[in-house]
DNA sequence: TTGTATGCGTTATCAT
DNA sequence: ATGATAACGCATACAA
């Protein structure tokens, strides 16, 4: 045994510094083959209890931890996934929470991949997956021109969260945007509103287009018409919401209610309304979409549509795992949204509000 | 060429499915050694231009990408770091933004490691680093009982962000909490406040203790005393802030101003004040700490202390990279904070406000 | 039940 | 400038 140890050390060069023990160190120290060590950790039932205990004891004593890198190479899997987001926002943060939870349950780690609004970067993350930097990819962005050019053979396990994607190869976990918006509109209509504006996100996003469709449909269903100037496009931030209100106030006919494509736009709209001397909801009803957690402190409480962000992330990751396990025909999922009525919606004003 | 390719395939088992080409496939296809292929990508200047071009062309055509896993194993580095957070919050999100930026610049990826308030989990992430799942670790939590027990030999490259840590081995990038708080107190004192309360975060965090120390010191310096019941501890959330105000309103003597350990507490405090019929800032001045981005939409604008979150993350990651590169004596950093005066602070009320 | 030997896809050392 | 080949640390098929 000592001989073998000697040989081993000579062959592999003496370690003077204390680097973590490898499986071979364990093997040498215990006089067992590396295979046995490996088996104790991977399939304990395959090894005799006494041997197993002896190995386990040594593992604990010497602090042996299998090298994740080597393991990954041998097993041909990284147990890593990329979570690609277009921009760091509280919304994706909460989706990520669900992703992380599922990942933990399944023994995966999540790499946050921030595309910084650059589709080109999304492609880079794809390349990384192809290069075995990760096993799969979770997308939260609908437009990825380059990645679509990927040949099917190298299309890695992919699940799209929160955003629809028009590629049949992608599995989608999202909400029914059109339906969600319709619910909001229905709420406003029920309150008696007839003049409803729509503040939308950037129209290159498929989800935004879906919402717009839902809005128009719901309005049409209610027999209401939407002047083109009442559909104002912006980014998903408060500034855009505020600007949209300024825009809407310029017109001769003014809406009594606005639906905003997300909560941040809605909050901006409320601020904009205040700036224009409009009270919410007395003069203007505002309804958002997201039910962002951090807005719980906001006053007046924002009427909005809840998107199950955590659940979306969780389900998406679970599906991705199945994908990576080689399962075929993993289906997508459409989660239900829910209208949360708080204080920013009310009956329309009796007489048109006067803006300043 | 076909022959060689054939040999390769026979030797390595026929691939019926199209798996990504390996360096050996390239080698075979080009009639060059694997070493040359490798060199072209790693040190192009070492190879003759003609050969180089030939290889590059083939790389592009065949879509060859070095397997990151194998690369990592051979180079003995993962180019991955863990970013450990106690809980998913907008605060850490912005720190993460900086971390990510620096990581990208340095060719690293960031794994989001959510400890979910469980120090035990922090230990797990440490183990993963020891097991070469990542090269280094970024901590945002001050209390890690178990990890401290790690022998110095296996103490991986570590940088602590945002939170001080009392381990000499750790490199810290944070702010001077005591000084930040002192600035806030000084502002209130200058406005004429004499009765100032402190709503604190959980006292197990070292930063919270530092802030408390800063508060007491600043008050003492101003010749003001702090009744023990005016220091109310809570979690870092709005609910705690609201509860703290309820607590403070129960006393006979009431403060005219409160300093909250973070913005969320402050926002909760404001809400609590409203509930108790106190107007902010007329009856009660409130000042927070963080300058959270999402609170920009909050009205009235919160007076607070700006913490350079992005910069903290960025600098921390840059330092971690140096650490991982083996650099010794990488120093810590203390970033400057800045008082942002908005609308929630004003002069103390002439007569004590009446609570309901 | 345990051991032997080979493969995983690179990098890097040492020849040539 | 290029090639042969030994690491890297583990998993696993096959042998014993």
Using DSSP bridges, classify how beta strands B257-260 and B196-200 pair: parallel, antiparallel or unpaired.
parallel
Q: Which of residues 63-82 of A touch B (CB under 8 A)?
A: 63, 65-70, 72-73, 78, 80
> A201-205, A229-233, B249-253: which has the highest mean pLDDT?
A229-233
Among candidates B70, B72, B100 on the partner chain, residue whose Cβ is nearest the Cβ of A112:
B100
From the CA of B90, how many Å to the nearest CA of chain A? 6
Q: Who wins on pLDDT, A164 or B215?
A: B215
Residue A60: count other Cβ atoms within 10 Å of its Cβ. 9
| 3-state helix, strand and coil shares in percent for chain A, rounded to the nearest 5 | 45, 15, 40
Could you tell me what percent of chain B has a pLDDT over 70?
90
Q: Which nucleotides of C are covered by protein (CB under 7 A)?
A: 1-5, 7-13
Q: Among all protein residues, pick the one whose CA is nearest to the C1' atom of C11.
A: B74
Predicted local distance difference test score (pLDDT) of residue A142? 67
Q: How far is CA B214 from CA A302, B162, B226, B264, in A?
A: 37, 17, 13, 20
H or E segment to which residue A339 belongs: strand A338-340
In this complex, is the C-beta atom of A109 within 8 Å of any C-beta atom belonging to chain B?
Answer: yes
From the CA of A85, how many Å to the nearest CA of chain B? 12
Predicted local distance difference test score (pLDDT) of residue B151? 63
Predicted local distance difference test score (pLDDT) of residue B211? 95
From the CA of A292, how many Å to the nearest CA of chain B? 11
- For residue A5, pLDDT over 70 is answered with no
Among candidates B73, B83, B297 on the partner chain, residue whose Cβ is nearest the Cβ of A268:
B297
The average pLDDT across B216-243 equals 95
* Whole-number Å distance between alpha carbons of A303 and A2: 75
The average pLDDT across B318-330 equals 92
The average pLDDT across B28-34 equals 94
Going by C-alpha positions, the residue among B345, B200, B356 that lies closest to residue B264 is B200
How does pLDDT run across A26-66, given as a tens digit for each residue?
999 999 999 999 999 999 999 999 999 999 999 999 999 99
Predicted local distance difference test score (pLDDT) of residue A193? 97
Going by C-alpha positions, the residue among B233, B215, B236 that lies closest to residue B225 is B215
The average pLDDT across A253-281 equals 95
Phi, psi of B281 (to 5 degrees): -100, 5
Q: And the tokens for A153?
A: 């053979």
> A302-311, B86-95, B111-120: which has the highest mean pLDDT?
A302-311
Q: And the tokens for A65?
A: 């931890």
Across A182-196, A318-332, B114-128, least confident range: B114-128
From the CA of A73, how many Å to the nearest CA of chain B? 6
Could you tell me what percent of chain A has a pLDDT over 70?
90
| 3-state helix, strand and coil shares in percent for chain B, rounded to the nearest 5 | 45, 15, 40
For an interface test with A, the pick among B13, B21, B131, B266 (most A C-beta atoms closer than 10 Å) comes out as B131
Predicted local distance difference test score (pLDDT) of residue B299? 82
Q: Which of residues 220-239 of B touch A (CB under 8 A)?
A: 238
Predicted local distance difference test score (pLDDT) of residue A144? 62
- For residue B226, pLDDT over 70 is answered with yes
* Whole-number Å distance between alpha carbons of A133 and B205: 36
What is the CA B18 to C1' D5 distance in angstroms? 28
**Which residue on chain A is closest to B135 by alpha carbon?**
A69
pLDDT band of residue A118 (cuts 50, 70, 90) is confident
In this complex, is the C-beta atom of A300 within 8 Å of any C-beta atom belonging to chain B?
Answer: no
- Under 8 Å between Cβ of B206 and B175: no
What is the CA B33 to C1' D6 distance in angstroms? 15
How does pLDDT run across A72-96, given as a tens digit for each residue?
999 999 999 999 998 888 889 999 9
> A86-90, B25-29, B168-172, B349-353: which has the highest mean pLDDT?
B25-29
Terminus-to-terminus CA distance in chain B, angstroms? 90
Predicted local distance difference test score (pLDDT) of residue B194? 96
* Whole-number Å distance between alpha carbons of B85 and B95: 10
Q: Which nucleotides of D are covered by protein (CB under 7 A)?
A: 1-5, 7-13
């Amino acid at each position: 045994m000592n001989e073998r140890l000697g040989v081993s050390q000579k062959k592999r060069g003496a370690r003077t510094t204390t680097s973590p023990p490898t499986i071979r160190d364990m093997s040498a120290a215990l006089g067992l083959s590396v295979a046995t060590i490996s088996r104790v950790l991977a399939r304990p039932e395959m090894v005799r209890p006494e041997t197993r205990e002896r190995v386990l004891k040594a593992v604990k004593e010497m602090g042996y931890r299998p090298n994740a890198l080597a393991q990954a190479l041998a097993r041909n899997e990284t147990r890593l996934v990329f979570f690609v987001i277009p921009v760091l926002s509280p919304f994706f943060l909460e989706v990520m929470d669900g992703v992380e939870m599922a990942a933990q349950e399944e023994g995966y780690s999540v790499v946050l991949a921030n595309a910084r609004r650059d589709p080109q970067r999304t492609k880079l993350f794809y390349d990384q997956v192809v290069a075995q930097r990760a096993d799969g990819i979770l997308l939260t962005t609908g437009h990825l021109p380059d990645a679509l050019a990927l040949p099917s053979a190298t299309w890695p396990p992919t699940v799209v969260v929160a955003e629809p994607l028009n590629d049949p190869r992608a599995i989608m976990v999202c909400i029914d945007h059109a339906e969600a918006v319709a619910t909001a509109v229905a709420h406003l209509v029920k309150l008696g509103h007839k003049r409803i504006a729509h503040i939308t996100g950037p129209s290159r996003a498929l989800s935004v287009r879906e919402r717009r469709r839902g809005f128009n449909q719901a309005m049409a269903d209610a027999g209401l018409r939407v002047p083109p100037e009442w559909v104002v496009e912006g980014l998903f931030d408060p500034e855009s919401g505020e600007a949209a209100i300024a825009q809407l106030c310029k017109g001769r006919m003014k809406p009594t209610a606005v639906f905003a494509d997300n909560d941040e736009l809605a909050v901006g709209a409320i601020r904009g309304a205040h700036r224009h001397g409009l009270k919410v909801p007395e003069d203007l009803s505002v309804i958002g979409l997201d039910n962002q957690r951090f807005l719980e402190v906001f006053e007046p409480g924002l009427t909005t549509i809840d998107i199950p962000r955590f659940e979306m992330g969780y389900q998406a990751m679970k599906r991705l795992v199945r994908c990576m396990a080689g399962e075929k025909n993993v289906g997508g999922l459409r989660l239900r949204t829910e209208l949360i009525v708080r204080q920013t919606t009310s009956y329309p004003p009796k007489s048109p509000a006067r803006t300043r």
